[in-house]
Chains A and B, each alone.
Chain A
Amino acid sequence: KAGVTQTPRYLIKTRGQQVTLSCSPISGHRSVSWYQQTPGQGLQFLFEYFSETQRNKGNFPGRFSGRQFSNSRSEMNVSTLELGDSALYLCASSFSTNTEAFFGQGTRLTVV
């Protein structure tokens, strides 16, 4: 069974631009969560989608948004990029609550 797939793996963007990251969860999983990982702040929760609805949201500015489609695939968008948005963005999928979350390999975003 295929794992969690994140695309693209690497991105370089310029300050002020916007970016969209994609995550395809494991087949049958309805929950998709996004995390930002930086050396300074560690792993921080961005948001979770379950059956196309945002169920939880972390403490990030409104420039960070996401959505989930009917096939459970999820996208994350960051508008007006800042240098501090450079990070590894990880997506995790879960079948339900109280089950383990499986992560993708991440998208490494560099903002210059």
Chain B
Amino acid sequence: DVKVTQSSRYLVKRTGEKVFLECVQDMDHENMFWYRQDPGLGLRLIYFSYDVKMKEKGDIPEGYSVSREKKERFSLILESASTNQTSMYLCASRRGGSYEQYFGPGTRLTVT
């Protein structure tokens, strides 16, 4: 079974803090994704990566950056957290050439 793990289930940070969300997958997938989920808006893509050190902006990249130094790990960085970044963050991975995408359990981030 594919396993995607995220570093925290719940996280509370203060405005202005630098926040790191970590995602690890154990199936050697080439593609990894970060989404945020907000009520009534579904899931929106923040960034994705199709290879180590490669990244592409999704639909809502503003205020975020990412890092992929190793194939199994994809990090989402909030350089200076703001209250409008309070949300559920979901990581996913997918094998290259495959369509099926697998999700981690999510991190519920609250910025106060």
Do A and B assemble together?
A: no
Please give the residue numbers on chain B whose beta carbons come within 8 Å of chain A beta carbons, in ascending order. none
Partner-B contacts on A (CB < 8 A)? none
